[in-house]
Amino acid sequence: MGLTCFLVYVDGLIITGIDSKVVNQFIASLSHQFSVKDLGSLHYFLGVEVILTQHGVLLSQYKHTQDLLGRHKMIAAKEVSTPMQQVLL
C-alpha cells in the first residue's frame, strides 16, 4: 500500500503518496462526497515552489523572496554571505 500524505490548509488539500493507485482511489472517494477540483501537479503552495526532479522534490522560495525584495525596493541590494552551511542535493 505504501505511504500516503494529506496536507490541508484552509480550503486547499494536497494528496500525494508512493502508490498512485491508492492516491487516485482516495481522490475518487472524496469526489463522491465533496466538490473536488483537481489542479494537476503541484507547482506552488503557500509561497513555496515545488520542483520535481529525477532525484526527488526540490522546494524553493526564490520567487517569493524576489517578490518580497521587489515590494520593498531591495532588488538591487548587495548580497552578503551567510554563516549557515548550504546543502545542495
Query: Assign residue 56 a region: left if phi > 0, alpha if psi is -120 to 50, beta otherwise?
Result: left
Mean pLDDT, range 14-33, rounded to an integer: 90
| Domain boundary assignment for the chain | 1-39, 41-79
Confidence of residue 38 (pLDDT cuts 50, 70, 90): confident
> pTM of the predicted model, to two decimals?
0.60
Classify strands 12-17 and 4-9 as parallel, antiparallel or unpaired. antiparallel
Mean pLDDT score, 49-76:
90
Name the band, by pLDDT with cuts 50, 70 and 90, for residue 60.
Answer: very high
Residue 2 in this model has a pLDDT that exceeds 80: no
